Amino acid sequence: MKLRFPHSEQFPELEDRSDPMVTLVETWVSVVKNSAGIRAQALRRPVDAASRIYQELQKRLFKPGLPSNFKEALIALAMADLKSDIDTKNLLYGWFKGEDRKIQVPEDYLRQPDGLRNVVSGKSRVLRPIGRGTARSALGALLWLIKQVGCSGLVLCIDEIEELAKLRLQNRRDQALQALREHVDNAGGDDFGGLCLYLAATPEMFENPAYFPRYEALQTRIQQVGKGINWRGPVVDLEKTPLEETEMKGIAKKIVDAYQIAYGEAATEWVTDSVIGSLVLEVLENRERTGKPRLLARKMVEMLHEKRSFEGEGDPNSGQEILVDA
């Protein structure tokens, strides 16, 4: 599953895709506007544009289980976009990204437009931030939104799960482990369909009786069965699964594919099999204690960023040796 954003020629206003969440919600707004017959490049808008948008929002957001605050945030964003209300849009961007603060949006944005009259009440609606009590429903709403813009799902990668061990209160640690257990149980289910979740933790979390083994409901779901390596199991031990040269090249190519999705073909067209092969050999021969896949990923991304930063300045392969030897 890959989170793909529309190309800029389809949605010219989305040329800057540096912020994934802003891109996602803006893409959704563009889809709503197009369905309502409001074109971004049109010189004039229909006089009933607000009514059209609101009717389209009602059709799209009539979904059982979608959190009410999420619906209100989407409605407010679409109406703020229609009115070119940059301040409200920026507040809503922060809300969707999980900023820990309450925001206020004009209550008029959440009401059905009153014909062609521009009635302004001056009242505001408070949207509370996404927190522990609403995080689960917010994740489900996010997956729904991702699919609404034509994406197949979300790949969510979380590193350093061992940080859970630093929580002072035991009940907080248990709550965190329970959340992990729920994600294992819900994998592939209806609640989180389209979610691919990767979690990385140190071996101590699996071996120390005070951590994963302490929470039996989780331990029984992730413990290894048999001596073989199950690549499709809930846990893959990276220490027992070293990658060979061919697999390392595969990782590099997938990074290039992901980079191309984000920045277009021009950003990666210079990356040949020879470039990837040379980089992989350099990494495999490197004597640093850093894990080889991690080192490869870092250097591959650095190389791509370096080329993109100096696009059009000389040979695209000129920065390769500098980065590999860094």
DSSP state string for 149-191: TT---EEEEE--GGGGGG-SSHHHHHHHHHHHHHHHHHTTSST
In a 13 Å sphere around the CA of 57, the CA atoms on its Cβ side amount to 24
Whether residue 20 is contained in a domain is answered as yes
Q: What single DSSP character describes residue 289?
A: S
Whether residue 26 is contained in a domain is answered as yes
CB 272: neighbour CB atoms within 10 A? 11
CA angle 114-120-124, nearest 5°?
115
pLDDT tens-digit readout, 302-313: 999 988 887 644
Whether residue 133 is contained in a domain is answered as no
Q: How many domains is the chain partitioned into structurally?
A: 3
Whether residue 139 is contained in a domain is answered as no
Whether residue 138 is contained in a domain is answered as no
Check residue 37 and give its pLDDT.
Answer: 87
- Paired with 199 in beta bridges are 158
Do residues 104 and 172 both lie within one domain? Answer: no
Do residues 179 and 251 both lie within one domain? Answer: no
CA 208 and chain centroid, separation: 31
Alpha-carbon distance of 39 to 258, in angstroms, equals 30
Q: pLDDT tier at 239 (50, 70, 90 boundaries)? A: confident
Alpha-carbon distance of 103 to 244, in angstroms, equals 51
Do residues 17 and 108 both lie within one domain? Answer: yes
E strands in 5-127: 103-106, 124-127
Q: What single DSSP character describes residue 222?
A: H
The range of the structural domain enclosing residue 287 comes to: 245-325
Phi-psi label, residue 104: left if phi above 0, alpha if psi -120 to 50, beta otherwise = beta
Q: Among 192, 221, 239, where does a domain finish?
A: 239
Q: pLDDT tier at 15 (50, 70, 90 boundaries)? A: very low
Q: pLDDT tier at 10 (50, 70, 90 boundaries)? A: very low
Check residue 309 and give its pLDDT.
Answer: 80
Whether residue 143 is contained in a domain is answered as no
Highest mean pLDDT among 154-168, 223-237, 299-313: 154-168
Do residues 219 and 278 both lie within one domain? Answer: no
pLDDT tens-digit readout, 280-326: 999 988 877 677 888 899 999 999 998 888 764 434 443 333 233 32
Do residues 176 and 161 both lie within one domain? Answer: yes
Do residues 276 and 224 both lie within one domain? Answer: no
SS3 breakdown of the chain: % helix, strand, coil, rounded to 5?
Answer: 55, 5, 40
CA 15 and chain centroid, separation: 18
Do residues 260 and 235 both lie within one domain? Answer: no
At 45, the amino acid letter reads R
Whether residue 299 is contained in a domain is answered as yes
Q: Among 239, 262, 297, where does a domain finish?
A: 239
Whether residue 307 is contained in a domain is answered as yes
* Predicted TM-score (pTM) of this structure: 0.70
Do residues 19 and 123 both lie within one domain? Answer: yes
pLDDT tens-digit readout, 115-127: 544 555 678 899 9
Do residues 234 and 251 both lie within one domain? Answer: no
CA angle 56-74-87, nearest 5°?
120
Do residues 117 and 61 both lie within one domain? Answer: yes
